[in-house]
Chains A and B, each alone.
Chain A
Amino acid sequence: MTKFFATLATCGVMFMSSGPSMAGDFALNGVAANGAKLYKKSCATCHGKKGNGKGPAAIALTPRPSDFTNAAVMAKTSPEGIYKTIRDGGAAMGKSPLMTPWKAVLTDQQIRDITAVVLGFSGMSKGTDK
């Protein structure tokens, strides 16, 4: 019985330490280092190189692109939500339709890598790199 509780506690600690990326059944498996260049190429135009939502195209967009450095904004989402928003576009997730889907342009792994970059702007990336 003690062994059972010890195992349960260990699993619990692993779950907590992995952060939001392990919420539910979703495992991000993204590598921020691999996604950095892709982020600049595909996302920085709107979201900015620093992820602050102030990319050069932001002036033309209403609503403005998400600020990934804003903890309050990021608290409303999850790694899975970010991954799905990039993959399927904003409209599919009840967000801005100006956020286009990227699943036809990027591979699934590339989307996961970019998600890891986005999480990095907010400090949510702990445990996402594998």
Chain B
Amino acid sequence: MKVINSLLALCALSVAIVAVEATLTEFSAPACPARPESESPRFPDKAWNVEYGQAQAVPAFARKFNLTCTTCHSAYPYLNGFGRKFKRAGYRMPDEDGSVDPDMQNHRTISKNLVLDETFPLALGMDGDLLSLRSGGEAEMAPFGQLTLIGAGNFGTIGSYYVNFAVAAGEDESGETTISGHGVVGVHPSPLLNVVAGHGNIYHHDPYNSRSPHPIVAQHAHVNQSQFIQMYGYDSGLFYSLGATAGPAGKLGRDRQGYARLAYDFTDNISVGTFTRFGRTAEERDSALAHDDAEGGHDEAAVAGATVPELNDLSAGVDFNATIGSFNTVALVEWSSQKNVLDSSEKQQELVGYAEFFYVITSGDRPLLMPLVRADYAQDLELNRRKVSVTANLSSYILANARIGAEVATDLVVPAAAEKSTRATAFFSTYW
């Protein structure tokens, strides 16, 4: 039976990889919300929000080791100290000293060079908004928001993989269903040296929650996907990562950036970090001058007519993650600058950040209630425009892997030309 499971897993993984590859070539990624052109006409939609990696619970891991979700998640998808160790180790069970003991892994040795997971390595997630109300707008329902198929686990004794295939309803400008995906493979010869490469967000392998969005707060998220290769390691509380990314070539050029991150864990649950990203960006997919058209392809006329050349992009920031008892804090501040390569007087500087606080009330083997408050801040330093919003969120985990809740978010400060907005959402999320 286990052999059949392993073969099925291998087949499913192959299909998923092929499907993701096909998807990446056939479909455009969901468009990020574009900044109104009037605010900053010469620069792409950079932010007003922090860029995140994608965070999801992967129940396949809990099944693989017969552990509860709370072993790795204080309340999914937030990783606790042990969850970060597991992720750093390449989805392998770390030993007490952080090394990886093959005898502690739930692997099956098929042959000398073929070692696979014992259990079926697939998980399925579904997220949706039961009801969403926005000031000045009509009520919307999207109970089917996103369906996500996740394949993740190990191959060999030092290899890891993560494949994510998502079908999202109405996230692009046309309101049509979009399909997206990303895949990452890694090798993990030692805690000090791990290499991951693939297509996805560069923060995908960042183990700290400050770079991973809360599913509902993910509505604020700015998620870019690109090709990347990254090395990272950990020793004596110090985490480092160093990577390079390149986006797809387009009429405006190609993203070519490097990025780095340092973090220090004072304890398993308290850490501070710093990060930077530097290089050239074209931001074609997000550019206000080069929107995707309704068919999902690029608006060639807009791109051909664009006058914005590549930009020198530089960002840096600090972040903080802490869990003390049931109280959790996540905070991040990032400064970014973009300059016209041909004319450095044309520039844009921004400061973005957020602070998030949540408390986890547990019952048995699951979180029961999780009240959360969050404040977001963004400032255009060139035009001195500010945006401040606050979010209150209350989740109930009706099962260890299913959560319902409600959220209210409102703008306190907005740029002069914009209107304040308030949004109320009832949502659910489940991963199996």
A interface residues, Cβ below 8 angstroms from B:
37, 40-42, 44-46, 48-49, 54-57, 59-62, 91, 97-98, 100, 102, 105
Q: CA separation between A62 and B81, bound complex, in Å?
A: 13
Q: Which residue of the partner chain, among A44, A45, A98, contacts B70 with CB atoms under 8 Å?
A: A98
- B interface, over-half SS: loop
Residue contact A56 to B85, C-beta cutoff 8 Å: yes
Residues of chain B in range 89-106 having any CB-CB distance to chain A below 8 Å: 93-96, 98, 101, 103-106
Which residue of chain B is the closest to A55 with respect to CB atoms? B96
User: B221: shortest Cβ distance to chain A, in Å?
Assistant: 26
Closest 6 CB pairs of A and B: A60-B82, A97-B365, A97-B364, A40-B103, A60-B80, A57-B82
Residue contact B106 to A100, C-beta cutoff 8 Å: no
Residue contact A56 to B95, C-beta cutoff 8 Å: yes
Chain B residues contacting A62 (CB-CB under 8 Å) are 362
Q: CA separation between A60 and B83, bound complex, in Å?
A: 8
Residue contact B66 to A98, C-beta cutoff 8 Å: no
Residue contact B106 to A60, C-beta cutoff 8 Å: no
Residue contact B103 to A57, C-beta cutoff 8 Å: no
Q: CA separation between A42 and B67, bound complex, in Å?
A: 9
Chain A residues contacting B96 (CB-CB under 8 Å) are 48-49, 54-56
Residue contact A57 to B67, C-beta cutoff 8 Å: yes
Q: CA separation between A44 and B95, bound complex, in Å?
A: 9
Query: Which of B85, B96, B105 has most chain A Cβ within 10 Å?
Result: B96
Q: CA separation between A40 and B101, bound complex, in Å?
A: 9
Which residue of chain B is the closest to A105 with respect to CB atoms? B66
B68 at the A interface (CB under 8 A): yes
Residue contact A37 to B103, C-beta cutoff 8 Å: yes
User: A89: shortest Cβ distance to chain B, in Å?
Assistant: 9
Residue contact B82 to A40, C-beta cutoff 8 Å: no
B interface residues, Cβ below 8 angstroms from A:
65-68, 70-72, 74, 80-83, 85, 93-96, 98, 101, 103-106, 268-269, 362, 364-365
User: A12: shortest Cβ distance to chain B, in Å?
Assistant: 41
Chain B residues contacting A102 (CB-CB under 8 Å) are 66
Given contacts A45-B65, A54-B96, A102-B66, contact A59 B268 (CB under 8 A): yes
Q: CA separation between A54 and B82, bound complex, in Å?
A: 12
A-B contact pairs, 21 of them (CB 8 A): A40-B104, A41-B103, A41-B105, A45-B93, A45-B104, A48-B96, A49-B96, A56-B85, A56-B95, A57-B71, A59-B82, A59-B268, A60-B70, A60-B71, A60-B81, A60-B83, A91-B364, A91-B365, A98-B68, A98-B70, A100-B365
Other A-B pairs beyond A40-B104, A49-B96, 13, CB < 8 Å:
A37-B103, A41-B103, A45-B93, A49-B95, A56-B85, A56-B93, A56-B98, A59-B81, A59-B268, A62-B362, A97-B68, A97-B364, A100-B66
Chain B residues contacting A44 (CB-CB under 8 Å) are 104
User: A37: shortest Cβ distance to chain B, in Å?
Assistant: 6
Which residue of chain B is the closest to A48 with respect to CB atoms? B96
Which residue of chain A is the closest to B107 with respect to CB atoms? A41
Given contacts A56-B85, A60-B80, contact A100 B67 (CB under 8 A): yes
Which residue of chain A is the closest to B98 with respect to CB atoms? A56
Which residue of chain A is the closest to B65 with respect to CB atoms? A45
Chain B residues contacting A105 (CB-CB under 8 Å) are 66
Given contacts A40-B103, A97-B365, contact A60 B72 (CB under 8 A): yes
Chain A residues contacting B83 (CB-CB under 8 Å) are 60
Given contacts A45-B67, A60-B70, A60-B82, contact A98 B94 (CB under 8 A): no
User: A46: shortest Cβ distance to chain B, in Å?
Assistant: 8
Query: Which of A56, A57, A60 has most chain B Cβ within 10 Å?
Result: A60
Q: CA separation between A102 and B83, bound complex, in Å?
A: 22
Chain B residues contacting A56 (CB-CB under 8 Å) are 82, 85, 93-96, 98
Which residue of chain B is the closest to A62 with respect to CB atoms? B362
Chain A residues contacting B269 (CB-CB under 8 Å) are 59
User: B90: shortest Cβ distance to chain A, in Å?
Assistant: 15
Q: CA separation between A125 and B307, bound complex, in Å?
A: 79
Chain B residues contacting A45 (CB-CB under 8 Å) are 65, 67, 93, 104
Q: CA separation between A40 and B102, bound complex, in Å?
A: 10
Q: CA separation between A21 and B72, bound complex, in Å?
A: 35
User: B247: shortest Cβ distance to chain A, in Å?
Assistant: 37
Q: CA separation between A45 and B103, bound complex, in Å?
A: 11
User: B60: shortest Cβ distance to chain A, in Å?
Assistant: 15
Which residue of chain B is the closest to A45 with respect to CB atoms? B93
User: B102: shortest Cβ distance to chain A, in Å?
Assistant: 10
Chain B residues contacting A55 (CB-CB under 8 Å) are 96
Q: CA separation between A100 and B70, bound complex, in Å?
A: 12
Q: CA separation between A55 and B96, bound complex, in Å?
A: 6
Chain A residues contacting B80 (CB-CB under 8 Å) are 59-60
User: B244: shortest Cβ distance to chain A, in Å?
Assistant: 32
Q: CA separation between A100 and B71, bound complex, in Å?
A: 11
Q: CA separation between A122 and B227, bound complex, in Å?
A: 53
Chain B residues contacting A57 (CB-CB under 8 Å) are 67, 71, 82
